[in-house]
Every structure is written in C-alpha cells, then in structure tokens.
C-alpha cells in the first residue's frame, strides 16, 4: 500500500474510530438513563451505522466525494429530557414526522436556498466553535495520559516535519499506530466485561403519535439536522473544495430518518466531524477513498454491533481524544481563517461565542442559536456600517 493511499485509508479509519467511540458512548449513556434495553441499543446501532453507512457508500461512490451520514448526536441527547415522560413509541412517531419534514425540505430544493442565505463566515464560525472542543480535548488528554498523548502527538509532528519519519506513512497513521503500540505495551485497554455477543438483530418499532411529542421533538430534531449538523457538514466539505449535492443529501437524510425510525434510531444527518476528517488531507479527487473506507467499516460495525461496541469502548479516552484532535486540526485552523478573514467578523465572533457556550433554548442547542445571533448581528452591522 502506497503512502498516498495510506492517507485516505487512515483518514477513513480515524473518522470511523471517532464515530464508534464518543457518539456510541452517548447512546449508551442515554440508554442507561432512560431504561432502553440492550436489544434496543443494538438496533439503534444497526440503523446508525449499517443503514447510514450504506447511504454513505452510495453517495461517496456516485459523487466521488467523501459524503458520509450518521445519526444526530444532539438529537440523541434530546431524549434525556423527553423519555422520562414520553413513551418511546411516541418518540418514534416524532422521528417519522421529522423525517417527512426533512424530506420535503430536500425535495423542494429549500435546503440549498437555506444554505445560500447564511454568509459563509457565520457558518464557519459555528464550525470553529464546534471543532474547538476537539482541540481542547486533545490538550486535556495530556492530563489523562501524558505518555500516550506525548507519543501520539510527537509521532504526528515528526512525520510532518522530518522526511525520514514521513516515509513511515501519513502523520495521522503514525500517530494511530504509535498510540496503539503504547496502549498494548502499557495494558491501557479498558475493562468492558465479557463479550456479550456478535451479530446485531434489529428490532422494528410501531409508532404512536401525540401532540406533546410533536411539539417537544419534531422542531428541535429538524432544526438540529438541517441548520446544525448538515450545515457544518456541508461547510467543511465546501471549505475543502468539494461540491456536496445539498438537496440530494438532505433528501437522503429525510428518507434515511424514516428508515432509522423504524429500528428505533434518531434522525439521520450529514456528519460534520467525520466528513472533516475525511477531507482533511490528501488530493481532493481521491479523498472519496477514505469515505468508502469509513462506510464499509460502518456497515460492518452495525452488523457486528455488540462485538464492535465492546471492542471500541476498550480504547482509552485519551487515545480517541488525541486521534480526533489531530485529525481535525487542519479543519479547525481553516474554519478560524474562513470565519475571521472576511466582512462578517463581528457576526462570526458572536456565532463562535454562542456555539461554545453550550446554551439550550426551547430544546434547541447552542450551534443553532450561534447561527441565528451571528446572522442577526452581521445583518445589523451591514445595514449600519458606522456601528461596526
């Protein structure tokens, strides 16, 4: 395998490791807090990985771009405040209505028009705020495991700076392998108990509909998918020079959300972090190879959900934090440059600050409000330049 192809394969693995660790841990936390069964969690993983992975594979191969989908993480967290008083069947009903709403937005072409209304610096300010957390987790990993973090970051920097180390492979691959070696040699794998099984058996859930579930879940879920997750996914891809088919991908999110709802999973979206990792290095025309790698691994993960979750959660948190931080470092740098080098710097700053504040209003998270407040500030200042 040449170093050139190694870049794309490693990016695919890194994006996959991000998806199957932190986000999966969030699902497990929500399940524990709300009483969802292990069988339900496995079914959710089947939808979020196998179904979304199959859609990702189709789009990536057809458009020759890294276009990958997953489930909405903020939408998952939303269940913590809803399932304590709503039956899960009513949540499924809300998922279905959300999927239909997203489908209408995609089919009618509204998605592309919505993206065109937002100035790019404002969107990139939101992206910078979201991805800043990855950089901070990388720094924080040194406090959790200084040896592991130092070896991974050191290997990454040496592979970037010195030709002798660069021949070992792409910097992110060097960090991945070096970190894995430290984990094995130091016995740092976490204890996740005995292996519970191998294959996932997806369940089918019958929906129920209630006005309360519609009011609590449909609008926040739709806003999260369309204005937060998809917006950042499209933004990082466009910033990397790709031209994602916005309406087609939004339509796919709608159809995918209907399929995911049937197996008890929250709505499907365009994933920002994974697409950012896939588009972070290498030749643009070949970055789809990483997308294919990610999609194949995701499909396998969903089918072997219980086995793969058991293994993924054995990896130390510091390992995933460093790997994810290094993988998106270039994207984080580019998002700051794009946000603060144009005519919307004040609005971009407001967007960044609100996004990192982690506020939640009306069950809708901070990234959406960052876009709203940033766009309003930018609009006001452009109407009255003297106030800037």
Q: At what angle do helices 317-339 and 120-144 cross, to 10 degrees?
A: 150
Total count of residues recorded for the chain: 388
Q: How far is CA 18 from the centre of its chain?
A: 8
Phi, psi (deg, nearest 5) at residue 268? -90, 150
29 occurs within a structural domain:
yes
Q: Is residue 366 part of a domain?
A: no
Number of other CB atoms surrounding residue 83 within 10 Å:
18
Which parts of 145-239 fold into alpha helices (H)?
146-161, 163-166, 171-186, 211-213, 219-223, 230-239
Cα 87 from Cα 305, distance rounded (Å): 25
Buried residues in 23-38 as b, exposed as e (16+ CB within 10 A): bbeebbebbeebebee
Please name which of 122, 379, 100 lies closest in space to residue 232, comparing C-alpha atoms. 122
224: enclosing H helix or E strand: none
User: Within 10 A of 199 (CB to CB), how many other CB atoms are there?
Assistant: 11
Walk along the chain (388 residues) and give the pLDDT tens digit of each residue.
445 678 899 899 988 988 877 787 778 778 877 888 878 888 898 999 999 999 999 999 999 999 999 998 878 877 877 887 889 999 999 999 999 999 999 999 988 888 888 888 898 888 888 888 888 989 999 999 999 999 999 998 998 888 777 666 678 778 888 998 999 999 888 776 776 667 788 899 999 999 888 988 888 888 889 988 898 899 999 989 999 999 999 999 999 999 999 999 999 999 988 999 999 888 999 999 999 999 999 999 899 877 776 776 788 888 888 887 887 788 788 889 988 987 889 999 999 999 898 888 877 778 889 889 999 998 888 766 555 5
Interatomic CA distance for residues 47 and 50, integer angstroms: 6
Distance of alpha carbon 205 from alpha carbon 197, whole angstroms: 22
For residue 27, tell me if it sits in a domain. Answer: yes
pTM recorded for the entire structure: 0.78
**Beta bridge partners of residue 365, listed in sequence order:** 360
> Considering the domain boundaries, does residue 74 fall inside one?
yes
Sorted by sequence, the CB contacts under 8 Å of residue 185 that are 6+ apart come out as: none
List the structure tokens of 20. Answer: 């199957």
**Cα separations (Å) of 147 from 143, 187, 188?**
10, 13, 11
Determine, yes or no, domain membership for 118: yes
44 belongs to a structural domain: yes
DSSP element (H, E) containing 361: strand 360-361
Digit-coded pLDDT (tens) for 2-29: 456 788 998 999 889 888 777 877 787 7
What are φ and ψ of residue 12, in 5° steps? Answer: -65, -45
Residue carrying structure tokens 């894995």: 180
**Cβ atoms of 345 and 337 closer than 8 Å:** no
Q: What tokens does 244 get? A: 């994602």
Which pair of structure tokens corresponds to residue 285? 């025309």
Q: In the structure, how many helices (H) and strands (E) does the chain have?
A: 21, 4
Q: Supply the pLDDT for residue 1.
A: 45
43-80 pLDDT per residue, tens? 898 999 999 999 999 999 999 999 999 998 878 877 87
> For residue 7, is it within any domain?
yes
Domain span holding position 79: 3-142+189-334
pLDDT at position 105, please? 95
Q: What 3-state class would DSSP assign to 382?
A: helix
Distance CA 264, CA 204 (A): 7
The number of domains in the chain is 1
Query: What does DSSP assign to residue 266?
Result: P
Does 176 map to a domain? no
């Amino acid at each position: 395998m040449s170093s050139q192809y190694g870049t794309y394969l490693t990016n695919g693995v890194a994006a996959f490791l991000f998806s199957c660790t932190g986000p999966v841990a969030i699902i497990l936390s929500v399940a524990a807090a709300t009483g969802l069964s292990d069988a339900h969690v496995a079914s959710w993983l089947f939808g979020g990985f196998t179904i979304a992975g199959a859609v990702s594979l189709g789009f990536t191969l057809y458009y020759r771009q890294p276009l990958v989908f997953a489930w909405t993480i903020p939408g998952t967290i939303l269940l913590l405040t809803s399932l304590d008083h709503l039956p899960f069947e009513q949540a499924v009903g809300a998922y279905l209505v959300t999927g239909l709403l997203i489908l209408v937005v995609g089919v009618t072409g509204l998605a592309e028009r919505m993206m065109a209304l937002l100035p790019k610096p404002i969107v990139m300010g939101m992206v910078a705020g979201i991805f800043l957390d990855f950089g901070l987790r990388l720094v924080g990993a040194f406090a959790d495991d200084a040896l592991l973090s130092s070896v991974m970051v050191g290997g990454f920097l040496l592979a970037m700076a010195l030709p002798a180390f660069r021949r070992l492979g792409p910097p992110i691959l060097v960090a991945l392998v070096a970190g894995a070696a430290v984990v094995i040699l130091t016995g740092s794998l976490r204890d996740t108990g005995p292996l519970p099984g191998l294959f996932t058996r997806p369940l089918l859930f019958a929906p129920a509909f209630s006005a309360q579930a519609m009011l609590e879940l449909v609008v926040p879920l739709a806003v999260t998918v369309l204005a937060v997750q998809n917006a950042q996914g499209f933004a990082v891809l466009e910033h990397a020079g790709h031209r994602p088919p916005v309406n087609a991908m939004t339509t796919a999110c709608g159809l995918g959300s209907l399929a995911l709802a049937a197996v008890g999973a929250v709505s499907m979206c365009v994933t920002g972090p994974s697409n950012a990792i896939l588009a972070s290095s290498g030749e643009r025309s070949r970055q789809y190879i990483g997308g294919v790698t990610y999609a194949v691994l995701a499909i396998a993960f969903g089918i072997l959900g219980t086995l793969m979750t058991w293994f993924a959660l054995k990896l130390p948190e510091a390992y995933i934090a460093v790997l994810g931080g290094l993988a998106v470092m270039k994207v984080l740098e580019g998002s700051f440059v794009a946000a603060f080098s144009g005519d919307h710097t004040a609005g971009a700053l407001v967007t960044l600050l609100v996004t990192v504040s982690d506020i939640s209003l009306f069950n809708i998270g901070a990234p959406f409000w960052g876009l709203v407040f940033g766009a309003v500030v930018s609009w006001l200042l452009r109407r009255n330049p003297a106030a800037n």
